[in-house]
Structure 1
Amino acid sequence: MLNAPITTEDSLKIPRHGQLVVWAVSDGRAGIHNQVLGLAEAIADLTPANVVVRHIRYRRMFDRWPTFLRLFPHLMLKRDSDPVGRPWPDIWIAAGRATLPHSKRVKKLSNGQTLVVQLQDPREASKRFDMVIAPLHDQVKGDNVLSIQGSTHRVTPERLKREAAPWAERLSAFDGPFLTVLIGGKSKSHTISAERAEALVQQIRIAVKSKKATLLLSVSRRTPDDARKVLMEGLKDLPGILYDGKGENPYFAFLNAADFLMVTEDSVNMAAEASATGKPVHILSMDARGSGAKFGRFHQGLQDYGAARPWSGELRQWKYTPLNETRRAAEAVLALYAEKHPDRRAKG
């Protein structure tokens, strides 16, 4: 398995002339889009790069076909899908089942000139890609696998400050400390019933009152309507801002303002992003729908790192170095690119 190298800034400045072209490829769903774009942007922070977003969408008749049947995936795309063809990028970063046949195709058609990076567990041999970057809790094996804690994402101190600026005036009307609560929803492994939402309301009320805090709560697209209604009704009298999914999304502003965080256990992305802030992350229980083994390993990893703890009934304060696995992954990608293309390494 790969270990991210210790690198210097100069060694990561790959292009001698111009910029690297990096494609961030997904089916457009927010969860995986943010993973590929976050890694691409982290690469661009380390070396001159032009980041290009590509969203892959299949025609309905092909949408549920297994990967092995998509022999000509470029011919199966919708008209409004982004084009996937020459000229190929220097680095291809993809995530999600929809991208798998394209990733393998690009590796072959580019004659190895494009570095193909697949995020998450591809559920097939890792050697079909140049690099696989997978969550540690998925236990993916392979000589070209980089295992990271959680997922790659777009949370950086610079982004948080920039995205918080439009919310500064509204937030200045409240006194701290600020408690940011991130609510997920229905997934393969978890869900949130109206009854669970009632329990969360009580836990959040206790947390707010114990610290005389201002509440900044955000639900997600996956939050069921009945649970969303319970949360909004049950917490509307508390000082703060409740984001119900409509209008401008304050997600980054809420992360930036937080003194404490509470995050539901169903989302690897939200917990990893919260852990990138260096603020104490309290994990809230959800209703289980399937095996929780992977999530158990993930949350244990965050606890071992020092970022998160299960909700104990009170807000607690602790310190840790912000989790920065996206930067580590970006360094590993550039190191591998430099190894495969030594002629493009910048001269000091």
Structure 2
Amino acid sequence: MSDQPALAPLTWAVTTGEAGMTNQAIGLAEAIGLPVVAKVIHVPKPWRWLPTHWAAPLGIKTLCGPGSDAFTPPWPEVLVTSGRRSGALSIALRRASGGRTLTVHIQNPLVPFENFDLVIAPEHDGVAAANVVQSLGALHKITPAKLAEAAERFRARFAALPRPLVAVLVGGTSGAYRLEAEDTRRLARQLADLVAARGVGLVVTPSRRTGAANAAILRETLEPLGALVWDGVGDNPYFAMLALADVLLVTEESVSMVSEACFSGKPVYTIALQGGSRRFKRFHALMRDRGYARPFTGTLEPWAPPAPLDETARCAAIVRTLLARRREALGLTP
């Protein structure tokens, strides 16, 4: 008999709190099928500056700075982490559990991959190893059930809009891209031209990155044409837009937004911004070559993607297979 405490039939989804990383970790955790507990870790200085596998031997207690959630036994059956700094906690907890917790890390951990049971890295990062699964784009927590629920809540609000209904998901300035007023004006003109030429309906949702000035340009140009431009008040129509639109336009700076749009199974066009990087160019080339997205040039073409892009479900199925093997090796019953 092992003197290790029993594992809890749970998945812990652990990040350092960034929205993008949290969405990926919780999305995968929920798709695995065990009850999910979301936790946040704040690695204190100076340990946050160390390479992940150097910080891990310090132990869980040292890695958990002020504001961190509790990390105590019983350890979970599955630990999902996302983002570099949460990787140290994964390595430390794997050791604390005697190697029994199945550890899954999302994104390139920038440390030897054998420190984890599974690494899920974006294909456009070019990461490869025996225990690495490449995902096309980003994982997320959107499901068909969530889209159906959002569609019912917003169906009446969208009903009066013309068809085809074009949903426009606008991000903004990021580390690699910039959204300037001239970009927003160009986009607004293109959308206005679509309304004039095709009679399309428009639903537009800016984000925090869009900025007040750019959001104002969109509202002032498009609302007189009958477009719905979300003002940031009340329920965000984002999920409903994915569910109810016929076509989706997405600014290119967000791998997550493009990936989520492609989950809808609708035609997706990416809106060019200023800037970019080789990493983003690889991502957009993959999405284009696999038939999931095309660049937006001001016109809409009749085409359809091969299928809804659901990398979260595919990766979760791989984790469930590994978990079944781990349970069998440990003599555990599900």
Any idea what SS the aligned residue of 1:116 has?
strand
Quote the residue 1:112 is aligned against: 99
- Gaps of at least 5 residues in structure 1 are 1-17
Q: Which residue of 286, 294, 297 corresponds with 1:301?
A: 286
Q: Which residue of 210, 215, 240 corresponds with 2:227?
A: 240
1:65 corresponds to 2:65: no
Aligned length: 322
1:21 corresponds to 2:7: no
Q: Which residue of 243, 248, 251 corresponds with 1:264?
A: 251
For 1:305, give the aligned amino acid.
Answer: R
Deviations along 1:156-203, whole A, 9 cap, x unmatched?
Answer: 222101122222221223332210111111222112011111111112
Ranges of 4+ aligned residues in structure 1 off by more than 6 Å: none
Per-residue deviation, 1:241? 1.8
Query: Is contact 1:43-1:330 (8 Å) kept?
Result: yes
Per-residue deviation, 1:251? 0.9
1:91 corresponds to 2:75: no
Quote the residue 1:333 is aligned against: 319
Change in Cα spacing, 1:84 to 1:210, as seen in structure 2 (3 Å) is farther
TM-score (norm 1): 0.86
- Gaps of at least 5 residues in structure 2 are 1-6
Quote the residue 1:160 is aligned against: 147
Quote the residue 1:136 is aligned against: 123
1:314 corresponds to 2:303: no
Q: Which residue of 48, 52, 55 corresponds with 2:40?
A: 55
1:251 corresponds to 2:238: yes
Query: Is contact 1:193-1:226 (8 Å) kept?
Result: no
Q: What is the rounded CA distance, in whole Å, between the counterparts of 1:201 and 1:85 in structure 2?
A: 52
* Mean Cα deviation higher: 162-171 or 100-109: 162-171
Deviations along 1:240-282, whole A, 9 cap, x unmatched?
Answer: 3212333321110111111001011111111111111110001
Q: What is the rounded CA distance, in whole Å, between the counterparts of 1:35 and 1:124 in structure 2?
A: 20
Per-residue deviation, 1:21? 0.7
Per-residue deviation, 1:29? 2.2
Query: Is contact 1:118-1:131 (8 Å) kept?
Result: yes
Any idea what SS the aligned residue of 2:120 has?
strand
Change in Cα spacing, 1:69 to 1:116, as seen in structure 2 (3 Å) is closer
Change in Cα spacing, 1:211 to 1:28, as seen in structure 2 (3 Å) is farther
Query: Is contact 1:275-1:281 (8 Å) kept?
Result: yes
Q: Which residue of 207, 212, 217 corresponds with 2:199?
A: 212
Deviations along 1:17-40, whole A, 9 cap, x unmatched?
Answer: x98311111122221111111111
For 1:65, give the aligned amino acid.
Answer: W
Q: What is the rounded CA distance, in whole Å, between the counterparts of 2:59 and 2:214 in structure 1?
A: 42
Per-residue deviation, 1:136? 0.2
Q: Which residue of 179, 182, 187 corresponds with 1:195?
A: 182
Q: What is the rounded CA distance, in whole Å, between the counterparts of 1:200 and 1:217 in structure 2?
A: 11
Q: What is the rounded CA distance, in whole Å, between the counterparts of 2:16 and 2:284 in structure 1?
A: 27
Change in Cα spacing, 1:207 to 1:88, as seen in structure 2 (3 Å) is farther
Deviations along 1:123-171, whole A, 9 cap, x unmatched?
Answer: 1111111100010000112110000100111222221011222222212
Query: Is contact 1:210-1:314 (8 Å) kept?
Result: no
Any idea what SS the aligned residue of 1:341 has?
helix
Query: Is contact 1:19-1:50 (8 Å) kept?
Result: no
Per-residue deviation, 1:58? 4.5
Per-residue deviation, 1:314? 0.6
1:33 corresponds to 2:22: yes
Q: What is the rounded CA distance, in whole Å, between the counterparts of 1:238 and 1:84 in structure 2?
A: 53
Any idea what SS the aligned residue of 2:85 has?
helix
Any idea what SS the aligned residue of 1:236 has?
helix
TM-score (norm 2): 0.89
Q: What is the rounded CA distance, in whole Å, between the counterparts of 2:89 and 2:138 in structure 1?
A: 22
Quote the residue 2:4 is aligned against: none
Query: Is contact 2:48-2:85 (8 Å) kept?
Result: no
